[in-house]
Amino acid sequence: MNKDFLRKLIGGILLVSLIAICFVKPIQEYFDIPNHITLFEGQQIDMPKVVQASASLSSDNSIVALSQDHQSVSLHAKEQGKNEMFLELAGFPVKKVDVNVLKDFKVIPGGQSIGVKLNTVGVLVVGHHQVSTNEGKVSPGELAGIQIGDIITEINGNKIEKMSDVAPFVQESGKLNQPLKIIVTRESGKVETELMPQKEKDEENFKLGLYIRDSAAGIGTMTFYHPQSKKYGALGHVISDMDTKKPIVVDDGQIVRSTVTSIEKGSNGNPGEKLARFSSDKEVIGNIKRNSPYGIFGELKHGIQNGVMDKALPIALSHQVKEGPAQILTVVEDDEVKLFDIEIVSTIPQKFPATKGMVIKVTDPDLLGTTGGIVQGMSGSPIIQDGKVIGAVTHVFVNDPTSGYGVHLEWMLNEAGIDIYEKSQEKAS
């Protein structure tokens, strides 16, 4: 056996051994430690390590403390700022981990049933209708190229804010036999068109040939509010018009308290629904400034209580949420908020905003007995895990009402105009 062959044989054995070591679970977990770790002040994260491994910080400062033994590495966040952790295996550097500590941040969880009143920008076109004239049936609005889902914002240079603004222009235009100059907004932008109103046969009034509406209402669930700014988030998904199925463009709106009157229980292929009414006092508890894919957002007039968890709780970012037991706060009768058990079936650590970050399953026998699982009107119910607010219920699976999607709280905070990273970035710069 020559020396070259022996050298190659030993090299091959070492290579195979190294590859095999990498597939040993503790070592694989060591390599799986993320390249970036974000913590809030006071939080601690524990990571497994192997005997031959060691960890160190780039600088010994007051931002984060490191401790380790033969089995684990622990990072304890002390104050906002940034640091770096270096991992070594058998004396060789294998990974650099950026550690970002954010200012301690807490929100008050919701769970209350709320009534939602939206005031749209202009008036919403929800359908076409035929006007019976002496020449036959025709829809002036359709002939003018106005589409379902369009929003009429201007007629003859005048701003349109509500349905009652439209009628005088229509009648005047018809009598003068002059077309209306109309501006509508749609997803592609603003569109200008002309519309000639038509008189219904055997009637005196002129008509547009359009069905229009100027506001929308519904119910949902409060997710959270920030005790200092009173900024809130609710629903966890966009409000779309029931007729056009398109997101409603909000000029402003209000939220009021609501009371659940009954539950239509869900079943496979038929999601259930909370039936509710606005509370009798109709007290406005907050405004609506934004209707986005992540819910509705605005500011409360004052703090509100759920009677179950009325103290501010820490939050979890998307990468900190884990599979396993959790709870939701929601109302199934009157206005009483209760805590129910669920399971986080899967969760996706997201670097960019997305509306579906978790799959959840209702496990609480009381909630299953009452609702069959997730029902309409439950959207926005805050999800609590390990004493932290982690997100909100958004959608139910049509063919399995016990399960549905959740959105990570991180993205709802962003939509509410709350930047949890801002102060940390300012300090780092």
Catalytic annotation present for 334: no
Residue 271 Cα to chain centre, angstroms: 20
Catalytic annotation present for 237: yes
Catalytic residue among 237, 318, 395, 408: 237
Non-local (6+) Cβ contacts of 9 within 8 A are: none
Confirm if 160 and 152 have CB atoms less than 8 A apart.
Answer: yes
Q: In the predicted model, is pLDDT for residue 75 greater than 60? A: yes
322-339 pLDDT, tens digit per residue, is 999 999 999 999 999 999
Same topology between domain 3-104 and domain 107-115+216-415: no
Confidence band for 361, pLDDT divided at 50, 70 and 90: very high
Determine the Cα–Cα distance for residues 36 and 54; give it in Å rounded to an integer: 18
User: What six digits make up the tokens of 364?
Assistant: 């609480």
Residue boundaries of the structural domains of the chain: 3-104, 107-115+216-415, 130-208
220-246 pLDDT, tens digit per residue, is 999 999 999 999 999 998 887 666 677
Q: In the predicted model, is pLDDT for residue 272 greater than 90? A: no
User: What six digits make up the tokens of 185?
Assistant: 């907004």
Catalytic residue among 150, 214, 241, 364: 364
Catalytic residue among 139, 258, 292, 379: 379
Task: Please report the pLDDT score of residue 1 as a whole number.
Answer: 54
pTM of the model: 0.75
Task: Please report the pLDDT score of residue 428 as a whole number.
Answer: 40
pLDDT (average), residues 340-352? 93
Determine the Cα–Cα distance for residues 370 and 266; give it in Å rounded to an integer: 9
| pLDDT cut 90: percent of the chain above it | 52
Fold classification of 107-115+216-415 (topology level): Thrombin, subunit H (2.40.10)
Average pLDDT, rounded, for the chain: 86
**H helix intervals, 179-271:** none
Confirm if 106 and 115 have CB atoms less than 8 A apart.
Answer: no
Determine the Cα–Cα distance for residues 78 and 62; give it in Å rounded to an integer: 6
Secondary structure class of 30 (helix, strand, coil): helix
User: What six digits make up the tokens of 54?
Assistant: 């060691």
Catalytic annotation present for 104: no
Determine the Cα–Cα distance for residues 354 and 414; give it in Å rounded to an integer: 12
Estimate the share of the chain in helix, then strand, then coil, as percent rounded to the nearest 5: 15, 50, 35
Q: Does domain 3-104 have CATH number 1.10.287?
A: no
Task: Please report the pLDDT score of residue 92 as a whole number.
Answer: 79
- Candidate CATH numbers 3.10.110.10, 3.30.465.10, 2.30.42.10, 3.10.105.10; the one for domain 130-208: 2.30.42.10
103-117 pLDDT, tens digit per residue, is 889 999 999 999 998
Secondary structure class of 203 (helix, strand, coil): coil
Q: Which amino acid is at 288?
A: I
- The closest alpha carbon to 313, from 302, 326, 323, belongs to 326
Q: In the predicted model, is pLDDT for residue 82 greater than 70? A: yes
The conformation of residue 104, written as its DSSP 8-state character, comes to P
Non-local (6+) Cβ contacts of 311 within 8 A are: 108
Task: Please report the pLDDT score of residue 14 as a whole number.
Answer: 58
276-307 pLDDT, tens digit per residue, is 888 877 789 999 999 999 999 999 999 999 99
3-18 pLDDT, tens digit per residue, is 676 676 666 665 555 5
User: 167: part of which helix (H) or strand (E)?
Assistant: helix 167-176
Secondary structure class of 80 (helix, strand, coil): coil
Confirm if 404 and 281 have CB atoms less than 8 A apart.
Answer: no
372-386 pLDDT, tens digit per residue, is 999 999 999 999 999
Task: Please report the pLDDT score of residue 307 as a whole number.
Answer: 94
155-185 pLDDT, tens digit per residue, is 999 999 888 899 999 999 989 999 999 999 8
Determine the Cα–Cα distance for residues 329 and 341; give it in Å rounded to an integer: 9
pLDDT (average), residues 67-73? 86
pLDDT (average), residues 387-405? 94
212-221 pLDDT, tens digit per residue, is 887 677 889 9
Determine the Cα–Cα distance for residues 48 and 29; give it in Å rounded to an integer: 7
Q: 112 or 268: which carries more pLDDT confidence?
A: 112
